[in-house]
Amino acid sequence: MVPDMTIDFPVVEVREGKARFFIPDPKVFGEAGRLPPSRAPVFYNPRMSLNRDLAVLFLKAYQIKAGRALKVCEPMAGCGVRGLRFALEVDGLERIVLNDLSPRAYELAKLNVKHNGLEGLISVENEDAHKLLCRYSSPRQRLDYVDLDPFGSPSPFLDSALRAVRSGGVLALTATDTAPLSGLHVKACMRKYLGKPLRVSYWREIAVRLLIGAALLSALRHDLAVNPLFSYGVDHYVRAYVEISRGAKEADKHLDYMGFILHCRNCLRREVKRGLTPFLPDRCGSCGSRLDYAGPLWLGRLVDKGFCEEMLRQVEGSTLENVKSTTKLIVRLIDEADAPLTYYVSDEVCERLKVPIPPINDIVSELNFRGYLSTRTHFHDRGFKTEASSETVLEVIKEIVEEKKV
Ligand SMILES: C[S@@+](CC[C@H](N)C(=O)[O-])C[C@H]1O[C@@H](n2cnc3c(N)ncnc32)[C@H](O)[C@@H]1O
Ligand SMILES: [Zn+2]
């Protein structure tokens, strides 16, 4: 069906949250989300509905926190699903600006806005994201919330986006370039994020910290600071929602939240060094093996616990696609909000010990029982964060296996 003369490819109507909208027909262009996005004329990935559910909850909670009508912008909107969902599912939005460089995405997003009767609230533009954001970069023009959801890395757009967000506003970032961020392509990561990645079992946390670190490094040059309200890493992407604050003093303080994570591949020990130019030892303090490192990256908190609790309250009465997984993720983020940096994955520890893998809950309870604050992590189903040293972690797991004969 061609619902509009401006759309020159076959489309079908789908539903996500409260939005009903048109996407390129998966029967013609292959199943949406499974294909390289270049095959379909306009991008829509149903597998990112969890990402959009969380964005809806975030914006609901942020609107309550800000206590004012919000101006929202998605500079790379694809078919417009995210903006439609904001308009239909979040109260207290004054204006939503959707934009996409692709003329076909622009036409489809415009059609979808009309289809949902949202022309009064949403405007659609067809510009390069930099050019669009530049329009909002002077005082009193700035936006409350900018959501960057590009192909791959949001890094090239950080400067433009930061300049367009008001003080106290939020910049949301999705990065899907997990090959660089997980340490597979080290140089690509250093180019995009100005920090070295690390190919370790807890790479997802490193990736989130590199993304926030890159946002902060861009912000500092404008005398801005960033504070993560909500950030996580799942599937093939990492995501961060950072609140922007203006002022050189605030920015200076944030320099202390940057630093390095050192890792010993022999005994799994991790160390943290704060600052942009600390001395980095090259030998492990426990076993004397060579240390590898990640950074500079963000060493501060990944979420604001109170903010996450508000997001959780907003789940009730909402029309999310993935209520169970959204709730589970937020609960886990609250649980691990105060936990130490980095996590262990039981598979890796057990492989090292050459023992079977005990249930993750047994490991966490045993460590807590012995007085080491420990918790599971959303980053990995068999991952846990703990105050215990790597030596203790290895010992405790060995004992659990011996006692319980796993
Ligand atoms: C990952 S898709 C966006 C998906 C959308 N945010 C969603 O939730 O479904 C990235 C989009 O960015 C657009 N794009 C790429 N470069 C751009 C640029 N420089 N300015 C504006 N849009 C751009 C692409 O056309 C594509 O539609
Ligand atoms: Zn060591």
285 alpha carbon, closest ligand: 2
271 alpha carbon, closest ligand: 2
Contact 389, 268 (CB under 8 A): no
Tell me what percent of the residues of the chain surpass a pLDDT of 90: 93
Kindly report the CATH number that applies to the domain delimited by 343-406: 3.30.56.70
Distances (CA, A) of 366 to 53, 295, 396: 35, 32, 8
- Ligand 1 pocket: which of 76, 126, 130, 237 to mutate (most atoms within 8 A of CB): 76
Distances (CA, A) of 8 to 1, 2, 13, 97, 107: 11, 8, 15, 24, 10
* pLDDT reported for residue 399: 97
The domain defined by 48-298 folds into Rossmann fold (3.40.50)
Ligand 2 centre from 353 Cα, in Å?
A: 15
Please name the residues in contact with 74: beta carbons below 8 A apart, sequence gap of 6 or more.
Answer: 82, 83, 96, 97, 98, 99, 146, 147, 149
Ligand 1 centre from 74 Cα, in Å?
A: 9
Please tell me the residue having the least CA distance from ligand 1 atom 25: 102
Ligand 2 centre from 390 Cα, in Å?
A: 9
Please name the residues in contact with 221: beta carbons below 8 A apart, sequence gap of 6 or more.
Answer: none
Q: What is the rounded CA–CA span in Å between residue 383 and residue 375? A: 9
Give the orientation angle of helix 305-315 with respect to helix 49-66, to 10 degrees. Answer: 110
* pLDDT reported for residue 39: 79
Please tell me the residue having the least CA distance from ligand 1 atom 3: 78
Ligand 2 centre from 265 Cα, in Å?
A: 7
284 alpha carbon, closest ligand: 2
* pLDDT reported for residue 317: 87
Please tell me the residue having the least CA distance from ligand 1 atom 26: 78
The domain locations on the chain are 48-298, 343-406
One-letter amino acid at 376 equals R
- The burial class, CB within 10 Å (0-12 / 13-18 / 19+), for 138 is exposed
DSSP 358: -
Ligand 1 centre from 113 Cα, in Å?
A: 17
Please tell me the residue having the least CA distance from ligand 1 atom 6: 77
Ligand 1, residue 74: give the atom nearest the CA. 6
Please tell me the residue having the least CA distance from ligand 1 atom 16: 101
Contact 257, 242 (CB under 8 A): no
Ligand 1 centre from 361 Cα, in Å?
A: 40
DSSP 395: H
| Residue ranges of the chain with per-residue pLDDT less than 70 | 1-5, 31-38, 405-406
Q: What is the rounded CA–CA span in Å between residue 74 and residue 96? A: 8
Contact 257, 300 (CB under 8 A): yes
Please name the residues in contact with 64: beta carbons below 8 A apart, sequence gap of 6 or more.
Answer: 310
* pLDDT reported for residue 171: 99
Ligand 1 centre from 11 Cα, in Å?
A: 18
Q: Which residues line ligand 1 (CB under 6 A)?
A: 43-44, 48, 52, 74-78, 81-82, 99-102, 105, 128-129, 149-151
Query: For residue 51, how many other CB atoms are within 10 A of its CB?
Result: 20
Ligand 1 centre from 80 Cα, in Å?
A: 10
Per-residue pLDDT of 233-267, as tens digits, reads 999 999 999 999 999 999 999 999 999 999 999 99
Ligand 1, residue 52: give the atom nearest the CA. 8
